[in-house]
Amino acid sequence: MSVKWGFLGAGWIANRATAPAVHAAHNAKLFGVASRDAARSIKLEPQNVYGSYQELLDDPQIEVVYISLANHQHLEWVSRSLEAGKHVLCEKPLGLNALEVQEMIN
């Protein structure tokens, strides 16, 4: 059984590190990617490409969301991912300050 990952963002770190790691894992699958640029999403070789971040979160098959968006977007998309019932792995920094991180936890 493979854990189905969804990526929000298809930038450098996702391309160079995270996507290759998920593809190499025997118990993980890159199920979907949503980014501002569909061509960059396709380059990560997911099973699905989504037209929006929310569309990815709305897919009940996605179990874990990896967030590699710009730092100022982390609060919104970590919160939305958690509200959608997903597990979350977020690039550093988790939030811009301690108040943002506390808001994510609450």
In order of their start, the domains of the chain are 3-105 (3.40.50.720)
- How confident is the prediction along the chain (106 residues), in pLDDT tens digits per residue? 899 999 999 999 999 999 999 999 999 999 999 999 999 999 999 999 999 999 999 999 999 999 999 999 999 999 999 999 999 999 999 999 999 999 999 9
Cβ contacts of 42 within 8 Å, gap of 6 or more: 49
The predicted structure's pLDDT at residue 61: 99
Hey, which bits of 9-59 come out as E strands?
Answer: 28-34, 48-50
Is 92 one of the annotated active-site residues of the chain?
yes
Catalytic residue among 29, 43, 86, 92: 92
The predicted structure's pLDDT at residue 1: 87
The predicted structure's pLDDT at residue 40: 97
